[in-house]
Amino acid sequence: MMLFDAHNHLQDDRLKPNLEAVMAAARGQGIGRMVVNGSCEADWPDVLALARRFPQVLPSFGYHPWYVKECTAQWQARLLDCLAQVPSAIGEIGLDSWIKDCDVARQEEVFIWQLRLAAERDLPASIHCLRAWGRLLEILRAEPRPRRGFLLHSYGGARELIPPLAKLGAYFSMPGFFAHERKARQRETFRHVPPDRLLIETDAPDQPLPDARNRFPLLDAGGQPVNHPANLRAVYEFAAELLGRPPEDLAAQVESNFLRLFTLP
């Protein structure tokens, strides 16, 4: 049973000291592909290096809304250069009004430019959204979108938004973090995601599973717990339980969905 991680950050400094062991464990868990998302110009070279080093890595380059204030004058050219190096997706991009002192206008400017680029090249885009779902829906309706679709990573929007977003091409990825008891609303929402639009993610090293489900405990260099990418199988098991589907059936569906969205020229 091959597994597919729709969204993680393998390039994160918290994983680097254990990278070889992390990837060996991921291979041992049957992880065939993982989409590794850059967040800003500073980490794009690391994502590119991982893609050249590990065949499991599908690189994705984008400016995360948390970091848009750090854009240099050359950010667009640098993004285009990364996309020219290896077959790549675009992400992590999006909108976030939850962060302190967010620059909404700048977020939208950077997001729309990247969304248009994804549409122009028909590349999958991985989208982050917090407390901006109404505005995101407006932009997605108004702007061109990749014909293949786009990913709403760790989807936390309302259940009622699923049909209009799916109509626009959205896929919805579920993280293991939603297995925590306090995430009951998100679990109920995912029961209404169309099966052909469901994906699974770790978001490693963030969004850890509950301790009882964490098969690969890992500490960063400072001794703080982080989410291990090899926990993907545990996320699949959580999703199968939640949706009442046999694990093999769910894995086959997710594989089909992943390849439909993320198979690159």
Name residues whose C-beta falls within 8 Å of residue 190's C-beta, 6 or more positions apart in sequence.
Answer: 155, 172, 174, 178, 198, 239, 242, 243
pLDDT at 102: 85
Angle at 194 between CA 191 and CA 198, to 5 degrees: 85
Tokens in use for 168? Answer: 């626009």
| Residue 159 to residue 221: CA distance in whole angstroms | 39
Backbone angles phi, psi at 175, to 5 degrees: -95, 160
- Residue 134 CA: distances (Å) to CA of 8, 24, 39, 95, 157: 25, 41, 23, 11, 10
Among the listed residues 174, 258, 202, 179, the one whose alpha carbon sits nearest the alpha carbon of residue 9? 202
Residues in the chain: 265
| Strand 150-152 versus strand 218-219 pairing type | unpaired
Q: What is the pLDDT of residue 265?
A: 77
Going residue by residue through the chain, which has 265 residues, state the pLDDT in tens, using 9 for 90 and above: 899 999 999 999 999 999 999 999 999 999 999 999 999 999 999 999 999 999 999 999 999 999 999 999 999 999 999 999 999 999 999 999 988 888 999 999 999 999 999 999 999 999 999 999 999 999 999 999 999 999 999 999 999 999 999 999 999 999 999 999 999 999 999 999 999 999 999 999 999 999 999 999 999 999 999 999 999 999 999 999 999 999 999 999 999 999 999 999 7
Task: Write down the pLDDT at residue 101.
Answer: 85
Q: How far apart are CA 159 and CA 164, in angstroms?
A: 10
Give the Cβ contact number of residue 38 at 10 Å. Answer: 28
pLDDT of residue 100: 84
Q: Are 133 and 161 in contact (CB under 8 A)?
A: yes
CATH hierarchy code of domain 3-262: 3.20.20.140
Indicate yes or no: pTM above 0.85. yes
Q: What is the 3-state secondary structure (H, E, C) of 172-234?
A: EEEEHHHHCHHHHHHHHHHCCCCHHHEEEECCCCCCCCCHHHCCCCEECCCCCEECCHHHHHH
Radius of gyration of the chain (CA): 17
